[in-house]
């Protein structure tokens, strides 16, 4: 099975870089604060970052006292940027698809993944390997595209009024799990839709207890400052999970 690696596509990589360089984006406003709120005290922890991208989070974990961080990503371009911008003696970057982390050795106190899980077809396999790599009582924190969004495979996502204002979020094919394709910087970007119950039940089956869930939505303050995010009143973009190895 050929694994998806959009980030080494020059068009995709440049588009993604420009998006993340913008101060106002959904990652900065919603995903990052929600994920940070789920993390334990990082002092002295051995951390594995799955889908580490350009290494910004890896460096931040070291700043917050982590003992060591291993950043794994499938993209050569991402890891080149990580080594250039976020290098540290206690950070190791490894080019590897998430599906291959069974090859890693050692133990980790914390595994983190930011907006990468929904690109993985073998979710159960990844969970099994994350569980193996964690010490007993170790924590797994991850974010993904929310299932009410990953269900879309095409068509309109919104019902709008005569002024173009989004009034309802349209949900389709939620109960049909599996591969979806979308256009994001380039065509044919593959992701995998799983129902909310599947996301949670597969974690439980893999030997985790669920400690906390987060579905960040817009606050009145954010909408007042950035009106384009009012659509998050209707449905969240992201799902975040904190689970612990039993």
> For each of the chain's 246 residues, which pLDDT tens digit applies?
445 555 556 665 566 566 566 668 889 999 999 999 999 999 999 999 999 999 999 999 999 999 999 999 999 999 999 999 999 999 999 999 999 999 999 999 999 999 999 999 999 999 999 999 999 999 999 999 999 999 987 778 899 999 999 999 999 999 999 999 876 555 668 899 999 999 999 999 999 999 999 999 999 999 999 998 999 999 999 999 999 999
pTM score of the predicted model: 0.90
| Burial of residue 46 (number of CB atoms within 10 Å: 0-12, 13-18, 19+) | buried
Asked if the 6-146+195-245 domain carries CATH number 3.40.50.150, the reply is: yes
Domain boundaries, the chain: 6-146+195-245
Neighbours of 100 (CB within 10 A): 15
């Amino acid at each position: 099975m050929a694994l998806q690696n959009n980030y080494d596509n020059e068009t995709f990589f440049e588009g993604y870089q420009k998006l993340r360089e913008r101060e106002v984006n959904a990652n900065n406003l919603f995903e990052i604060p929600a994920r940070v709120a789920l993390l334990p005290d990082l002092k002295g922890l051995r951390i594995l970052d799955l889908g580490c991208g350009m290494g910004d989070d890896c460096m931040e974990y070291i700043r917050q006292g982590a003992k060591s961080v291993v950043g794994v990503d499938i993209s050569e371009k991402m890891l080149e940027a990580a080594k250039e911008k976020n290098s540290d003696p206690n950070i190791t970057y490894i080019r590897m698809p998430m599906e291959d982390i069974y090859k890693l050795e050692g133990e980790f106190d914390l595994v983190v993944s930011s907006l990468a899980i929904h690109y993985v077809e073998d979710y159960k396999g990844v969970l099994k390997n994350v569980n193996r790599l964690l010490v007993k009582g170790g924590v797994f924190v991850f974010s993904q595209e929310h299932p009410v969004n990953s269900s879309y495979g095409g068509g309109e996502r919104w019902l709008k009024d005569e002024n173009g204002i989004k009034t309802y979020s349209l949900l389709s094919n939620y109960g049909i799990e599996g591969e979806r394709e979308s256009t994001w910087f380039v065509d044919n970007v593959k992701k995998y839709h799983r129902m909310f119950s599947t996301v949670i039940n597969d974690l439980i089956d893999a030997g985790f207890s669920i400690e906390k869930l987060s579905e960040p939505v817009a606050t009145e303050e954010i909408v007042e400052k950035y009106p384009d995010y009012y659509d998050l009143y209707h449905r969240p973009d992201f799902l975040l999970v904190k689970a612990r190895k039993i």
